[in-house]
Chain A
Amino acid sequence: MLEVSNLHAYYGKSHILQGVNFNVQKGEIVSLLGRNGVGRSTTVKTIMGEVAPQGSIKFKGLEIAGKESFEIAHLGLGYVPENRDIFPSLTVRQNLILGMKSTQTQGRWTIDEMFRMFPNLGERADVEGGVLSGGEQQMLCMCRTLMGDPDMIMIDEPTEGLAPKIVEQVANLLQEIARRGVAILLVEQKLSIALKISHRLYVMGHGKIVYEGTADSLMGEDAVRAEWLEV
């Protein structure tokens, strides 16, 4: 589904991504872990075309490096940014409408279905997004991206700052997404939900992938966890 090879990216003169290699297969949940500032967000932003890429990014076999963000989104790659950029002055329903790429085709998800899954959002359908709680905003942000019917989504730190109960809801939604055949790249700092739901994990350190494995294999590598992750 997604194949990233030898990806480099810069912010001005600083060389942030220094040859990143990884892949996500169809229907898989893959986590990208690492400490603060190692370049995880930069990786997804670069894939999305927000930061200029050097190297190869193939999505569904197509080279997408150098394409515009909206073109990449249209190919079926969804992105939920870490800042939870909901549109505060638009209502919950309008936020969801905004996620739809066209009104003609019916995708995997409908607004009513979202409201059934998250009654909290349904009850506030006509309330401005800005008044929602952090957890509700995160849900809204994920649902909004899903309304565009992507075949793969990249989610940047969806559980940051959320209460344990909401974190569990996020994990459930991610598994539901995967069940419908949507591949997931989950960017996380903590191991909590990543260990539980991922098929494979990558650990990033200083602009490179430093470890690849499964939840079980990572739990066996105390040295890797001690050096590259906060435990």
Chain B
Amino acid sequence: MLEVLIFATLNGLVTGLLLFMLASGLTLIFSMMGVLNFAHASFYMLGAYFAFSISQYLGFWAGLIFAPLIVGSVGALVERYGLRRVHKSGHVAELVFTFGLAFLVEEAIQFIWGRDTKNYQSPDILDFPLFTLFGQEFSAYRGFMIAISLGIFICLYRVLTRSRIGIIIQAAITHPNTVANLGHNVPLIFMGVFGVGTALAGLAGVIAGPVLTTFPGMAAVLGSIVFVIVVIGGLGSLAGAFIASLLIGLLQSYAIASDVGMPELLNLIGVSFESSHPLNDLWTLTLPQVAPILPFLLLVLVLIFRPTGLLGKREE
């Protein structure tokens, strides 16, 4: 039992940190633009594919460094020549633009790399068990995923709260006009934030590709969950996104690890059904089976009891 709990927690942590790598960029970009970027997960997918191609020639580590840089540059260009122009036509136009971009990226990826799953592998160096507990192994690659996510977040946090540029970014998000009047190039700052946000998504794709498989549907799989996280955490709140990411990562991981079915749970509260009941299929679902919809259930609960999200502020 204990080993299940420990491994489920570790795996939940891996997923949670990965989700936050996407959610942090998405929520920052939201506070800047005022709209959710539907194409955010597409940058995550691009990261995985770029890294896969680079790794074919130069190895995994080159992909780890260059793929996020390329994705970030693409993101910055998209902001500069796409979103910034569309911005003048209002929020609906921006939403439609990001929506279209998500489709475009998915089609382009199928066109260039094909529909099949890519054999993108974690590096051999990390192909050993980091530790073995109760006879179960925790792979070094997962440990590496935790380390790299935490490292990046600590760096970003320090830059955002301690440095001059961090102060300018914080202020530009809430008071763009005032910051521009003080002589700071706000459009350039926004382009930079967009670039860093998409580079983070790209990095998430690079490190997730080998574990979660690299295929053209990977953006759709994670994209909707990241939206859920950003809403649960409270739109625009980085701390909220962090809590929600870990919450959902752990929740899913526990659900998958627990081999409990609905009948057992229902029995616990004293309800039982005949197996001839017409809704028998529903009662006999197991928790691992319902794990994928748990984030959405949580979303509904949060929206009912706390519509602004966990740490969101109400617009005045």
Contacts and interface: CB of A to CB of B under 8 A. Distances in A.
A70 B185 contact: yes
Contacts of A48: 181
A48 B175 CA distance: 16
A103 B179 CA distance: 16
B239 interface: no
A99 interface: yes
A145 interface: yes
Contacts of A50: 177, 181
Contacts of A145: 182
B6 interface: no
B173 to A, nearest CB: 10
Interface string A48-59: 101000000000
A13 B182 CA distance: 29
Interface string B154-191: 00000000001001101100110111111111100000
Contacts of A100: 164
Nearest to A69: B180
Contact of A74 (B168, B175, B183): B183
Contact of A70 (B171, B174, B175, B184): B184
A103 B164 CA distance: 9
Interface in B246-290: none
Contacts of B185: 68, 70
A90 B170 contact: yes
Contacts, number: 52
Q: How large is the interface on A (under 10, 10 to 19, 20 to 34, 35 or more residues)?
A: 20 to 34
B178 A85 contact: yes
Nearest to A80: B181
- With a 10 A CB-CB cut-off, give which of B170, B182, B186 has the most chain A CB atoms: B182
A98 B182 contact: yes
Contact of A98 (B177, B179, B186): B179
A196 to B, nearest CB: 27
B218 to A, nearest CB: 37
Contact of B180 (A70, A87, A90): A70
Contacts of B164: 97, 100, 103
A191 B168 CA distance: 36
Contacts of B182: 73, 98-99, 101, 144-145, 148
Given A94-B167, A97-B164, A87 B181 contact: no
Contacts of A27: none
Contact of A87 (B174, B177, B184, B186): B174
Interface of A: 48, 50, 68-70, 73-74, 79, 81, 85, 87, 89-90, 94, 97-101, 103, 144-145, 148
